[in-house]
Chains A and B, each alone.
Chain A
Amino acid sequence: MIERRRFLTSATAAAAVLAAPPLIRRANAQSVLDIAAVYSLSGTFANVGSALNDGSKWAVEAYGSAGGNKLNYVLLDDRGDAGEAVRKVQEVMTQHGIKHVVGCTNSAIGLAVQKEVHARGGIYVNEAGADEITGKDCNRSSFRWPVACYSAVNSTVRPLIDKFPQAKRWYTITGQYVFGDSLLSNCKQVFQEKGIQHVGNSYHSLSDREYSGYIATALSAAPDVLAVCNFGNQTVDVIRQAVSYGMKRNTKILAVWSTGLDQYQALGPENCDGVYFGCNFWHGVDSPGGRRVAEIVKQKTGDVPNYLHACGYAVAQVLIEGINKAGSTDVPKIIGALEGLSYEGPTGTETVRPQDHQVLKDYYLMLGKAKGAMKDKNDFADVVAATKAFLPPDKTGCTMG
């Protein structure tokens, strides 16, 4: 009996010893929280998607954990296709139980993913520009970091009209997609309000890369200002070709939405000089949050951050700040924590507006400078104006459906 009892005791002790390490490990280990990031790593805007992806990934790496959970970055390459983005989001949400999603490379993708994530009870922070994101298509699950098209237009077109009251004839070249159309409709509203003559618009498709025909049409309209309402490399190509056709001689050129430094580098100072750009982020604007982004990007690239890095960083930051404030990965708790949250973002103190989940932040009107005036290799432009121009919540059309 004694031997039997001793055997049982010894066996139990041995079992406890053998089982202890995994139990101890489990007790000490943080649970892992997957954050899915939706970006286009191929297609027309692949270079944009790739840099945005870097920014989001670096933010997740830099924070490391949120709400007591170790963060794990899960990249979903949508290949520039909204349908593909939705399919991949469906897959990770249903099969892997992921609820926390960030990122999009264009507005069409952002709108599609926003609807999907909401339907599946997740939370989504994105960088789409179209007004609908925090307008009629808004929902409780979705948050947007960059400004909407309304803000971009009102922070650039309006100050430029005020600065050059004689420039009454405006021509627009617009990308025929959700984002371009959204910029154009806002431009038309400002034109109407300010008594500006909209002397013409040329739509171009998503796949266009040759714009000289549109430039020729614009030249024939003899505008005072050419407003470029598109996105990504298409903005760069339109400006480069407009400048090459001598448009700067008699016409002011404004890119209502630019991605800032990376586009100025792609254009070179010879094309940037004298051109106006709207921009969500500029590395030259000093702020605590901006310095943090700058340190991380410096470590990774040895250079200053561009808008794409900052924007990719910012969408992940918003989500992580929400999780930290909520102290939980529970989606409704994070949504509640984010509403009204103020934090140090890449452009300074940024606030999440509860009514439509729009992050309130500055949008910059910038003026490209000549090569001789550049203080360093990244000093392409000066900030002419920094404006927070947002539609009042009751005018956005957002009902939090």
Chain B
Amino acid sequence: MSTQLLLFQVLNGLGIGMIYFLLSVGLTLIFGLMRFVNFAHGAFYLAAAYIAYAISLAFGSIWWALLIGPLAIAALALVIERLLLRHTYAMPHEAQILITFAVALLFQEIVILIFDPLAKSVPVPASLSGIVFLGPYVYPAYRLAVVAAAAVIAVVLWLVVERTKFGAMLRAGSENAEMVGLLGINVDRVFMAAFALGGALAGLAGVLAAPLRGAEPFMSTEALGIAFVVVVVGGLGTLTGALVGGLLIGLVQSIMSTLWPEAAQLMIYAAMALVLLVRPAGLFGRF
């Protein structure tokens, strides 16, 4: 592999990594703060992609979906959390997995009923439809915009979790919910807000990803698979872990697609296994 191609793949891998971060950050937030395994995360992503599709049909662009998608998914997540999932917090993780997996299947079937099983095109906004030249390399303008959006989200989330009162409540609630409750904080409401925030992030990822890979009913499984790899590599429940995990997985995939293309996908899981061997709790996870 020439140096120029290697640099290109590194750049490309960082771009893929930021997209993977976006996919997984909602999942890690919910798990880290609530210790809740949310297999419906991919379903939120799927629903948002179809919202982007519907809005692009109606308005010719996804711009409105960037606002409506995350809000609608946050509201939906809230309803599901209140009606169903909050009753499962005390249950073992296996039960949570089964219930949220059922929710994911329900979403998938609803999408097929409303639309059909075939993939849909979601056009890239006209202003971002070209390519940009980064020195000798070309990069899709829309991908660059998604990478920039993911970077902004990473910073904003870090500030929210680390520098705000709400973030402090979230972190305290995740450490010892009972103690925080005794201090007069409504932990139930904090968790509800965290779940809605996780849903909104999955929604934003779905809307942003729709022009990159279209919308189709089975996209949730693929997204969930990658999101779990990133979260496991980075360490369950850490934002930094999701960011570093996403970047690491993106780099591995991109570089291996030149060095050993047949096994590029496999190498993602090999990288995960290697990280778990060295650090069983993930790169930034707590033992």
* CB-based nearest B residue for A173: B261
Given known A46-B218, A216-B5, contact A237–B123 (CB-CB < 8 A): no
In the complex, which of the residues A207, A241, A265 contacts B120, with contact meaning CB atoms closer than 8 Å?
A265
What's the minimum C-beta distance from B225 to chain A, rounded to whole angstroms? 8
CB of A287 to closest CB in B, whole Å: 24
Contact B216 A212 (CB under 8 A): no
Q: Among residues 36 to 60 in chain A, which have CB atoms less than 8 Å away from a CB atom of chain B?
A: 42-44, 46-47, 50-51
On whether the beta carbons of A214 and B119 are closer than 8 Å, the reply is: no
Known A46-B117, A205-B262, A262-B119; judge A213-B257 contact (CB<8 A). yes
Whole-angstrom CA separation of A207 from B263 in the bound complex: 11
Question: CB within 8 A of A266: which of B13, B119, B217, B253?
Answer: B119
- Inter-chain contacts of A208 with B (CB < 8 A): 264-265
Q: Which of B28-36, B66-74, B136-144 contacts A (4 or more CB under 8 A)?
A: B136-144
CB closest chain-A residue, reference B15: A212
Complex interface: stretch among A69-77, A267-275, A337-345 = A267-275
CB neighbours (8 Å) of A207 from chain B are: 222, 265
| Interface residue SS majority, chain B | helix
Interface size of A as a range: 35 or more
Interface residue A353 (Cβ < 8 Å from any Cβ of B): no
Q: Which of B9, B217, B222 contacts A209 (CB 8 A)?
A: B222
| Chain B: CB-nearest residue to A217 | B258
In whole Å, how far is A174's beta carbon from the nearest beta carbon of chain B?
9
Asked if B254 is at the interface of the complex by the 8 Å CB criterion, the answer is: yes
B20 closest partner in A (C-beta): A210
Q: Is A213 a contact partner of B258 (Cβ separation < 8 A)?
A: yes
Verify if A168 is at the interface (C-beta below 8 Å from B).
no
Question: Which of A219, A263, A268 is within 8 Å of B123, CB to CB?
Answer: A268
Which among A51, A236, A266 has the highest number of chain B CB atoms within 10 Å? A266
Contact B118 A220 (CB under 8 A): no
Closest to B19 in A: A210
In the bound complex, what is the Cα–Cα distance between A47 and B253 (angstroms)? 26
Tell whether B186 is near chain A: CB-to-CB under 8 Å: no
Q: Which of A43, A51, A245 contacts B118 (CB 8 A)?
A: A51
Cross-chain contact B261 with A246 (CB below 8 angstroms): no
Q: Is A324 located at the chain interface by the 8 A CB criterion? A: no
- For the complex formed, measure the closest distance between the CB of B271 and the CB atoms of chain A, giving whole angstroms: 14
Given A51-B117, A213-B13, A270-B123, answer yes or no on A237-B265 (Cβ-Cβ < 8 Å).
no
Are B12 and A244 in contact, with the CB atoms below 8 A?
Answer: no
Return chain A residues, CB-CB under 8 Å to B217: 46-47
B118 touches A262 (CB 8 A): yes
**Interchain CB contact under 8 A, A245 and B253:** no
Chain B residue nearest in CB terms to A303: B116
A63 to B7, alpha carbons, bound, how many Å?
59
Q: How many A-B residue pairs have CB under 8 A?
A: 129
Asked whether any CB of chain B lies closer than 8 Å to the CB of A325, the reply is no
Report if A210-B124 is in contact (Cβ < 8 Å); known contacts: A51-B118, A216-B5, A216-B258: no
Is B63 in contact with chain A by the CB < 8 A criterion?
Answer: no
When the two chains form their complex, are residues B262 and A236 in contact, meaning their CB atoms are under 8 A apart?
Answer: no
Which of B2, B13, B212 is packed against the most chain A CB atoms within 10 Å?
B212
Q: Any chain B CB within 8 A of the CB of A203?
A: yes
Q: Does B185 contact A (CB under 8 A)?
A: no
Bound-state CA distance A233–B138 (Å) is: 25
Given A237-B213, A245-B131, CB of A213 within 8 Å of CB of B140 = no
Return B48 CB to nearest CB of chain A, in Å. Answer: 17
Closest to B122 in A: A268
Interface-central residue, A211, A213, A220, by most chain B CB under 10 Å: A213
On whether A271 and B261 interact (CB within 8 A), knowing A213-B12, A244-B142, A246-B138, the answer reads: no
Q: Mark B108-146, 1 if CB is under 8 A from A, else 0.
A: 000010001111111110000111000000111011000
- 0/1 interface trace, chain A 234-250, chain B, CB 8 Å (1 if under): 00110011001110000
What residues of A have a CB within 8 angstroms of the CB of B235 in the complex?
none
The answer to whether B265 touches A205, judged by C-beta atoms less than 8 angstroms apart, is: yes
**What is the chain A residue whose CB lies nearest that of B213?**
A237
CB distance from B272 to the nearest CB of A (A): 14
Q: Return 14 A-B CB contacts under 8 Å, by A number.
A: A202-B257, A202-B261, A204-B257, A210-B16, A212-B16, A213-B16, A213-B256, A216-B5, A217-B9, A220-B2, A265-B118, A265-B119, A266-B120, A268-B122
